[in-house]
Amino acid sequence: MEFFEAISAKFNYWIYVIIMMIGLYAMIAKTNMVKKLIGMSVFQTAIILFYVSIGVKDGATIPILYHDQVHAGHHHDDHAHNGEHYDTPHGTDHEADEYGYPSRHAPDVVIDGDDFANPLVHVLMLTAIVVGVSTLGVGLAITQKLHREFGTIEENEIHDMIKSGK
């Protein structure tokens, strides 16, 4: 039972390794070039699962502020626009920057760090997704060019053709 608890506490990390290894196996063992690229895609997607799992927080929501909080922010924004010297009813600690603008937007809004999931990993994975798509696209283009040149997408057949052609 303890073993299962240990796994379930880190379930995502176990699953990501298994998915990733499926992808890695396909990348190394398959001879069909498109299957290899599919493996590559699986491999990269597993990394995304890993990263996103890092950013999860119990009891937290997506990293976008609640409507109320934003609304309070806009209220103060209007103040700033009037160009008057910015003073808040609460007299909280906010100072103007060197150009006379408020140095903090909506200083009264209090944001609890535990309310929102970690946004950083999502940003990183957006990049990783883009990289994955780009690599897959280039890989497919190369495969297509090879198919045009050799008439097959089986890697061992291409090797045979090169050997016999020489």
Partner 1 sequence: MIEQAPALILLFPFFASIIVALAGIRIQGVCFPITVISMAASVLSGIAILGQVVNNGAIRYRLGGWEPPMGIEFRIDALGALVALAVSVVGLLTAIYSKRQVPAETPDKISQYYTLYLLLMTGLIGMVITGDAFNLFVLIEVSALTSYALIAMGPRRATLAAYKYVIMGTIGASFYLLGVGYLYIKTGSLNMFDIHEQLIARGIFDATAVLVAFILITVGVWIKMAFFPLHAWLPNSYAYAPTTSSAVLGPLVTKVMIYVMIRLTFTVFGADYTFGRLDWSDIVVWMSVAAILVGSISALAQTDLRKMLAYLIIAEVGYMVGGMWLANDMGLIGSIYHIIADAFMTLCVFLFAGIIFTQTGKRDLNALDGLFTKMPLTMVGFLVGAFSLIGIPPTAGFFSKWYLIQGGVASGHWEYVIALLISSLINAVLFFRIIEIAYFGIKPAEGHGGHHHEELSKESPTKASFSMLLPLLVTAAMLIGLGLYNRDIVAIISDFVSQFNFGVISR
Partner 2 sequence: MKSLALISVVITGWLLLSAVGDFPDWGDPNSPANSYRLSQHFVTETFHETAVPNMVTAVLADYRGYDTMFETVVIFTAGIAIISILRRFTSDGADAGTEKVYEKRPDLIVDTTCRLMIPIIQLFALYVIAHGHHSPGGGFQGGVIFGASFILIALSRDLQAAHKWVPEQRVLNLAGIGILIYAGFGLASMFLGQNFLDYAILHKIMPASPIEARYHSMLGVEIGVAFTVTAIMYSIYSNLASKGTMKEGL
**Given candidates 34, 128, 152, 157, which one binds partner 1 under the rule CB under 8 A?**
128
Q: Which listed option, partner 1, partner 2, none, makes contact with residue 40 (CB within 5 to 8 Å by class)?
A: partner 1
Please answer whether residues 14 and 7 qualify as being in contact, where contact means their C-beta atoms are separated by less than 8 angstroms. yes
Q: Is 151 near partner 2 (CB under 8 A)?
A: no
- Residues facing residue 32 across a β-bridge: 154
Q: Which residues contact 117 (CB under 8 A, 6 or more apart)?
A: 55, 56, 57, 60, 61, 62, 63
**Given candidates 92, 145, 160, 162, which one binds partner 2 under the rule CB under 8 A?**
145
CB of 77 or CB of 162, closer to partner 2: 77
Q: Is 124 near partner 1 (CB under 8 A)?
A: yes
Rounded to the nearest whole angstrom, what is the least distance from the CB of residue 90 to partner 2 in the complex? 15
Pick out residues in 17-56 that bind partner 1 (CB under 8 A): 24, 27, 33, 36, 40, 43-44, 47, 50-51, 54
Burial 55-76 (b: 16+ CB within 10 A, else e): beeeeeeebeeeeeeeebeeeb
Q: Which residues contact 60 (CB under 8 A, 6 or more apart)?
A: 114, 115, 116, 117
Q: Is 150 near partner 1 (CB under 8 A)?
A: yes
Rounded to the nearest whole angstrom, what is the least distance from the CB of residue 143 to partner 1 in the complex? 7
Q: Is 13 near partner 2 (CB under 8 A)?
A: yes
Fill in the DSSP letter of residue 135. Answer: H
